[in-house]
A and B are shown apart, each in its own frame.
Chain A
């Protein structure tokens, strides 16, 4: 117990190194460039302490919970040997974690307002909400599909670059054809779909699968699921903007 506490204390101190750049940036711009004292200094100090503690707890939680669980599930699915259920799990994980993502709900709302302002939508809250919900489900479907495709890639050992480069070429072709207001939102939507709890789980799942399947290299084949999940929303949102 005591040694646990000591090692956690070291972890908290280690996060100070992660936060040092933030402290330096704030101090430099506040004192040197803007030449103003820091407002509410105690509050900021307290906030920093919470951030340190939170980061250390999160890292401990990763090592104890999220990573082992992702790996255990990868092993269990490989043992079961059912492609259907593995892909079903991948889809559920992608769809389920995205559809309720607060950042996505915010972006979908912005996109609806952008479309309405450009005159693509009938006026009224119902039309706005319908557009935003449609967009949200489109993105969630696209992340589910991305994880299915990414998992299949790990199983088959297909090289990732053909998918990703092919996908980005599609983005390049679709961009001039999509309405102008949706482009920025579409490009940003790729970044908002992968939340902080999903990322470690998905990474551990991919690396776990690539470790248990013979002939796959965890580094070459195990990573890449996040890349799929950040690419497909761009394509689907551009398509949504063109169709709706």
Chain B
């Protein structure tokens, strides 16, 4: 019964969050476009499904996964700190003692990104638009690897206390170089995937990890060091998605060259 209550409550808040969107859509539809979209009933049902689905999803996360994830993050940082206890000075924190923390950050980053609803939406659209040339699942895994690497590097930065802008700027340099080299069609999608990764699932868990880590380690300020993990999580997917397309293009070229060098192979087909 408590669950039903919470589902109803979350559905209500989600509905309230969606209200501005609905007002804008209906307002423009009625006042400016002055036409009813075809299948209005179907579209409205779909909207209802999406909102209800999101509400169920959020309740499930809050009931089950968020508390567990936060407890695990706290235990892992505590374990690592225990090993480093007795040291008060900031520079005495040995980053090598936090191996499981980085592994956990990467694993959480990967796993939550694969289940991120906004990313599912964009990758479905990309698969449809590219005529199945891009696979939705491949794209999501590429993004998830980027988030995993980004979040792990982000926790390393918090442990070592090195300045955030250096990492971000270096990452952007890689993005700029890749933009020149990657297939042109992937670039807008890669840029988009940075913003998409960080919504419902990833942000709360990753932020909790960052703030917990920054407040547990002596010499780190949650305000200055705790933030910034989201920035890592949105930067690295751009690199991995462009990389994914580059690898695909490279394999295509190699395949073409092999066939060219070996005409016997061509005849067989």
Q: Enumerate chain A interface residues (CB-CB to B < 8 A).
A: 18-19, 21-22, 24-26, 28-30, 33-34, 38-39, 43-69, 72-73, 76-77, 80, 85, 88-89, 92-93, 96-97, 99-103, 110, 113-114, 117, 160-161, 164-165, 168, 171-172, 175-176, 180-181, 183-185, 187-188, 190-201, 203-204, 207, 217-227, 229-230
Contact = CB atoms under 8 A, between A and B. Distances in A.
B65 to A, nearest CB: 6
A203 B122 contact: yes
A62 B124 contact: yes
Nearest to A172: B169
B125 A58 contact: no
Given A194-B118, A196-B54, A64 B64 contact: no
B53 A58 contact: yes
Contacts, number: 345
Contacts of B42: 64-65, 68
A223 B184 CA distance: 12
Nearest to A188: B230
Contacts of A76: 33, 35, 37
Of all A-B residue pairs in the complex, the 10 with the closest CB atoms, nearest first, are A65-B46, A47-B64, A61-B50, A57-B53, A64-B46, A54-B57, A184-B227, A54-B56, A50-B60, A230-B195
Contact of B129 (A88, A113, A160, A218): A218
A200 B121 contact: yes
Contact of B72 (A29, A103, A180, A204): A29
Given A66-B46, A187-B164, A227-B195, A19 B68 contact: no
Interface of B: 3, 7, 17-21, 23-25, 27-29, 32-33, 35, 37-39, 42-65, 68-69, 71-72, 75-76, 79, 100, 104, 107-108, 110-112, 114-115, 117-118, 120-122, 124-126, 129-130, 144, 164-165, 168-169, 172, 175-176, 179, 184-185, 187-189, 191-192, 194-200, 203, 223-231, 233-234
- Residue of A19, A57, A103, A220 with most chain B CB atoms under a 10 A cut-off: A57
B109 to A, nearest CB: 10
Contacts of B196: 194, 199, 226
Given A64-B49, A67-B125, A47 B61 contact: yes
A126 B10 CA distance: 30
Contacts of A191: 195, 197-199, 203, 230-231, 233-234
A79 B165 CA distance: 45
A39 B69 CA distance: 12
Nearest to A38: B68
Given A180-B224, A184-B164, 12 more contacts: A26-B65, A57-B53, A58-B49, A65-B42, A68-B39, A69-B25, A92-B28, A93-B24, A97-B24, A165-B175, A207-B125, A217-B185
Main secondary structure of the interface of B (DSSP, over half): helix
Contact of B56 (A51, A199, A230): A51
B228 A188 contact: yes
Contacts of B35: 76
B126 A33 contact: no
A73 B28 contact: yes
22 contacts: A21-B114, A25-B110, A43-B63, A48-B65, A51-B61, A53-B60, A58-B120, A85-B28, A85-B32, A97-B20, A110-B227, A160-B188, A168-B176, A172-B172, A191-B195, A194-B118, A195-B199, A197-B18, A199-B121, A217-B185, A219-B129, A220-B188
A22 B125 contact: no
A102 B199 CA distance: 11
